[in-house]
Amino acid sequence: MRLNLSAPTVHAGAGILGLLLLAFASPVLAQDSVWTWSGQITAVSDYRDRGYTLSDQGPALQGELTVAHVSGVYGGVWASTIDDYGLGPDGDGARVEVTLYAGWYGSVSGWDVDVGVWDNRYPDGTDVDYVEFPVRIGRSIGDAAWTLGVIYAPSQTGLGDADNTYLWTRIDYAPTGWPVSISATVGHEDGGFAPDGKVDWTLAAERSIGPATLGVAWVDSDTEDHALVLSVGVGF
């Protein structure tokens, strides 16, 4: 259950296999202008997704690898440490969330469009894996950018045999002369993850220093306590 707002964006074996394939493929991809690859490792003080804490308000380590084609087609794997999730009869649950994803990102009539599929898996979790379909459109005006997105998950076991819809919008502002970029996000969720409906909001600021990105975000919702989330990520 993740929302990657900044870029287009398993079973344990599948997640590790995906990482290995991307790692072995990277030297070839780096030499081919048709294909490109990128990655990032991030540490956060609290893994918050759509207002919820998935790390029990504790720190989490996250990583991502993406392969993209010049046509706009892309795919990759993303993972994060989490608090126990999907406890089974043996008392064990998932401690890692892994997302395998694929999609297409490009421009349509002057709008940035991103359409994809996310396969969210929780190794050792019981009946909590699920698939969802994100779609977003955006447009830049000067130093500002506006994005509107929806993430739909059809009814499935991992959602308690219910569907789920998350509708969100975000504004980014990054003037050239500013040392930081700022953003504001508001989302509404209804369905398996929020049977009574839920609204969440985030105010964030980021600063890039070489390959590193430092971030601070105020995250809140009408169902969970607010949090000040600190992050540091390194891209490669």
- Give the pLDDT confidence of 40-70 residue by residue, as tens digits: 999 999 999 999 999 999 999 999 999 999 9
Report the predicted TM-score, pTM, of the whole model to 2 decimal places. Answer: 0.87
Burial of 90 (0-12, 13-18, 19+ CB in 10 A): exposed
pLDDT value at 89 more than 90: no
The total of structural domains in the chain comes to 1
| CATH number assigned to the domain comprising residue 47 | 2.40.160.40
6 part of a folded domain? no
For residue 55, is it within any domain? yes
Whether residue 66 contacts residue 39, with contact meaning beta carbons closer than 8 Å, is answered with yes
Three-state DSSP at 134 gives strand
69 to 14, 77, 97, 155: CA distances (angstroms): 22, 16, 26, 31
- Mean predicted lDDT score pLDDT of the chain: 89
Residue 98 lies in a domain: yes
Share of the chain above pLDDT 70, in %: 86
pLDDT at site 2: 54
Domain with 69, as residue range(s), is 12-235
What is the pLDDT at residue 3? Answer: 54
Q: Could you write out the DSSP letters of every residue in 206-231?
A: EEEETTEEEEEEEEEESSS--EEEEE
Give CA–CA dist 5/53, Å, rounded.
Answer: 17
pLDDT at residue 30 is higher than 70: no
Q: Does the residue 47 lie in any domain?
A: yes
Q: What does the pLDDT read at residue 91? A: 86
Instruction: Tell me which residue has tokens 């030297």.
Output: 27
- Does the structure show a pLDDT above 80 at 6? no
Within a domain: 31: yes
The band of 193, judged by pLDDT with boundaries at 50, 70 and 90, is very high
Check pLDDT > 50 for residue 170.
Answer: yes
